[in-house]
């Protein structure tokens, strides 16, 4: 007995419905019925920003203009004359130094008991292995702090400016810088009880003092100075 056409149609619908079921959960389509209860989603949305950079970009940070770091070409000569040394204190002799263009270094020593002594050297060129070269000194002298210090000295009635504490009344000494008849004095660091008038030396000025102290010790050990002074130098 042959099945009627309606029966065959129902069987076809049943087979089609069964065959449309997804083979796995991964094969489910967007039309699948969602779970009937709410499950809170605790996943944090993530925005893809690409790989983490290995190098931090610091191009917006101003460069550090410290000792030995120069953006421009080396200075091959000085542009100004500067005399420096210590003033005051109980001592049997007095030693002063002068640097002048292009690369001249002069040491002069006076004493009541001996004739004046002097020696002259040439400052090491830029790139030399010495601690202080003409480039080091020229860069330090060009500091904005040093320029401002001499401008302050020029603006004063006495033509001087003092940083730190003047210990000369107690047999102490001051480091002096002299240019064009103007004096910048650097004494001991300001301390508690120094008074409101004590002004701390600017960084650029203190660095110049350090460089000049290193320079005077360096050049005083040259053979020409050792021979002229009759000792191991200043």
The pLDDT tens digits of the residues spanning 8-47 come to 444 444 445 445 555 554 555 545 555 554 555 555 555 4
Q: Is residue 72 part of a domain?
A: no
Residue 17 included in any domain: no
Alpha-carbon distance values, 43 to 34, 39, 40, 51 (Å): 19, 12, 9, 21
Please give the biggest Cα pair distance in the chain: 149
Number of Cα atoms under 13 Å in the Cβ half of residue 135: 17
Question: Would 168 be classed as within a structural domain?
Answer: yes
Report if residue 180 sits inside a domain: yes
List, for residues 140-156, the tens digit of each pLDDT value. Answer: 999 999 999 999 999 99
Strands of the 114-122 sheet, one edge to the other = 114-122, 104-111, 94-100, 82-88, 173-179, 182-186, 160-163
How far lies 30's CA from each of 22, 111, 125, 152, in Å?
Answer: 12, 103, 79, 81
Do β-strands 114-122 and 104-111 pair in parallel, antiparallel, or remain unpaired?
A: antiparallel
Confidence of residue 66 (pLDDT cuts 50, 70, 90): very low
Q: Are 84 and 212 in contact (CB under 8 A)?
A: yes
- Asked if residue 208 is part of any domain, the answer here is yes
Lookup result for tokens 């619908």 = 13
154 CB-near residues (< 8 Å, 6+ apart): 182
**Both tokens of residue 50?**
């690409």
Indicate if the alpha-carbon torsion angle 216, 220, 224, 229 is positive or negative: positive
pLDDT of residue 8: 46
Q: What is the mean pLDDT of residues 87-99?
A: 82
Q: Is residue 132 part of a domain?
A: yes
Domain presence at residue 38: no
pTM for the model: 0.66
Q: Identify the DSSP state of 100.
A: E
Top-confidence residue, 31 or 60: 31
Alpha carbons 220 and 9: distance in angstroms, whole number: 117
Choose among 174, 171, 179, 176: nearest CA to 150.
179
47, part of any domain: no
- Answer yes or no: is pLDDT of 49 > 70: no
Separation between Cα atoms, residue 217 and residue 234, nearest integer Å: 7
DSSP 8-state symbol, 188: B
Q: Which domain holds residue 129?
A: 82-229
Overall number of domains in the chain? 1
């Amino acid at each position: 007995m042959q099945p009627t056409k309606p029966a065959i149609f129902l069987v076809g619908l049943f087979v089609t419905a069964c065959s449309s079921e997804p083979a796995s959960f991964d094969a489910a389509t967007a039309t699948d019925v969602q779970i009937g209860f709410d499950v809170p989603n605790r996943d944090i949305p993530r925005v893809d920003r690409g790989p983490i950079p290995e190098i931090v970009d610091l191009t917006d940070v101003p460069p550090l203009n410290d000792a030995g770091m120069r953006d421009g070409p080396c200075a091959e000569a000085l542009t100004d004359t500067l005399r420096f040394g210590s003033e005051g204190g109980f001592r049997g002799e007095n030693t002063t130094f002068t640097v002048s263009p292009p690369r001249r270094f002069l040491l002069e020593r006076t004493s009541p008991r001996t004739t004046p002594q002097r020696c002259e050297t040439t400052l090491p060129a830029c790139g030399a292995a010495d601690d202080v070269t003409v480039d080091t000194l020229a860069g330090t002298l060009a500091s904005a702090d040093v320029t401002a210090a001499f401008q302050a000295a020029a603006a004063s009635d006495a033509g001087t400016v003092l940083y730190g504490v003047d210990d000369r009344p107690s047999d102490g000494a001051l480091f002096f810088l002299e240019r064009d008849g103007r004096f910048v004095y650097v004494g001991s660091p300001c301390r508690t009880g120094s008074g409101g008038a004590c002004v701390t030396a600017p960084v650029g000025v203190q660095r110049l003092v350090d460089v000049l102290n290193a320079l005077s010790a360096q050049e005083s050990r040259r053979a020409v100075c050792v021979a002229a002074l009759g000792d191991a130098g200043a």
